[in-house]
Amino acid sequence: MQNLQEFMLFTKATEYLIAIAFMVIFIVFWRVLNAPRRRPLRESVAESFQVFKGMFAHPSHTWAEVVQPSLVNVGMDKFTSSVFGSVQKIELPRQGDRIYQGGKAWKIQKEDRELVQVSPVSGRVVEVNRKIAENPKLLNQEDPERNWILKIAPIRLTREARNLLSGEMLARWNQAVKEQLVASLVPSSYPVLQEGGEIKPDLGDELTTQQWEKIARNFFNTFLVH
């Protein structure tokens, strides 16, 4: 029995190390892709059409939906909604403001907890979701991936889309994130995942201040370009 327990602990430790290694490699890869390049600031419409309509995710847990080459919806993902908890306040840019990939997009707050999230793309803010601005709790009550926060007119969509996650790479990334989250909260007095393997939607409301600070440091702040 003791040998079996030791084997199970060894297996879990191995899985955790693999997940950590994957995330470290991806962070390095992402930073290399984001290294400054000397290219024209604005792309042609023809170049933008190379980016197909669809969903992309930034590793800081924001997403971009390419509605058309000249318009992108952006928002926060389910991971953010789950681990942050009930959003009480959100600070948004103004219509017409310029924001940049990896730079501040908005800040969400809850009591003594706050989180700055980054924009997945660079461009000009053409519209702010007024419903969310007036009632930030909608970010928790509805599907976050259907709750766009900003509409952006992108300025270098084709190039920046290469820095984002989609398809199989996104699926693997999400799985690695879940595994690291579970490992980082062990031991805990409550389940992190619900039936089906998804993160509990109200997990953030159960986290201590120390646990939240650890999550913010490991899963969000790595990607913020000040």
Kindly report the number of other CB atoms within 10 A of residue 196's CB atom.
5
Which pLDDT score is estimated for 157? Answer: 92
Of the ranges 34-38, 105-109, 129-133, 186-190, which one carries the lowest mean pLDDT score? 34-38
Over residues 196-221, the pLDDT tens digits come to: 788 888 899 889 889 999 999 889 87
- How far apart CA 222 and CA 138 sit, in angstroms, is 27
- Residue 34: phi and psi, rounded to 5, are -90, 5
- How far apart CA 203 and CA 207 sit, in angstroms, is 7
Within a 13 Å sphere around the CA of 50, how many CA atoms are in the beta-carbon half?
12
Q: How confident is the model at residue 15 (pLDDT cuts 50, 70, 90)?
A: low
Structure-model confidence comparison of residues 146 and 137, the more confident one? 137
Q: Which of 157, 149, 91, 159 is nearest to 125 (CA)?
A: 149
What domains are defined for the chain? Answer: 41-226 (2.40.50.100)
Which pLDDT score is estimated for 21? Answer: 54
Q: Which of 87, 91, 178 is nearest to 140 (CA)?
A: 87
Which pLDDT score is estimated for 22? Answer: 53
Place of tokens 């009480």: 88
Structure-model confidence comparison of residues 6 and 98, the more confident one? 98
Of the ranges 23-32, 40-49, 102-111, 150-159, which one carries the lowest mean pLDDT score? 40-49
Which pLDDT score is estimated for 96? Answer: 98
Which pLDDT score is estimated for 25? Answer: 54
Over residues 148-185, the pLDDT tens digits come to: 999 999 999 999 999 999 988 988 998 999 999 988 88
Long-range contacts of 46-54 (CB under 8 A, 24+ apart): 47/158, 48/154, 48/157, 48/158, 50/158, 51/157, 51/158, 51/161, 54/166
Whether 144 shows a pLDDT value over 80: the answer reads: no
Cis, bond preceding 40 (omega within 30 deg of 0): no
- Percent of the residues in the chain that have a pLDDT greater than 70, as a whole number: 71
